[in-house]
């Protein structure tokens, strides 16, 4: 197999691993945050608005990690910076 094909395979596999591993952490973090928020609301129902607001801000911060992993994988698949280098080197 030529070098360009190997770069393509490596890019696709790396993008898949990035999404797979990069989504596990945020999913566990979001689950724990929601569980703790529900537990806090159950203990202090009067503070539900404050807890909910803080929860949504925290969930947005946690979700940004998964979004960054998604962006990196899309760059690896569609706008890989190594493609131009290897295409020029191969001469294709």
CA–CA distance, 72 with 65 (Å, rounded to integer): 11
CA–CA distance, 27 with 34 (Å, rounded to integer): 11
CA distances (Å), 13 to each of 20, 57, 72, 78, in order? 10, 33, 13, 13
CA–CA distance, 5 with 13 (Å, rounded to integer): 12
| CATH H-level superfamily of 20-82 | F1F0 ATP synthase subunit C (1.20.20.10)
Residue 74 above 80 pLDDT?
yes
Entry pTM: 0.72
Q: What is the pLDDT of residue 78?
A: 86
Q: Higher model confidence: residue 6 or residue 44?
A: 44
Residue 92 above 70 pLDDT?
no
How many CA atoms, within 13 angstroms, populate the side-chain half-sphere of residue 22? Answer: 17
Q: Higher model confidence: residue 8 or residue 40?
A: 40
CA distances (Å), 43 to each of 28, 36, 52, in order? 23, 11, 14
**pLDDT tens digits along 63-73:** 999 999 999 88
Residue 3 above 90 pLDDT?
no
**pLDDT tens digits along 12-61:** 898 999 999 989 999 999 999 999 999 999 999 999 999 999 999 999 99
CA–CA distance, 48 with 22 (Å, rounded to integer): 31
């Amino acid at each position: 197999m030529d070098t360009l094909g190997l770069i393509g395979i490596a890019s696709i596999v790396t993008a898949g691993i990035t999404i797979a591993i990069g989504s596990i952490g945020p999913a566990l973090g979001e689950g724990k945050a929601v569980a703790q928020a529900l537990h806090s609301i159950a203990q202090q129902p009067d503070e539900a608005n404050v807890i909910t607001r803080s929860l949504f801000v925290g969930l947005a911060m946690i979700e940004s990690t998964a979004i960054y992993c998604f962006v990196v994988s899309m760059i690896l698949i569609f706008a890989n910076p190594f493609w131009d280098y290897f295409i020029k080197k191969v001469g294709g």
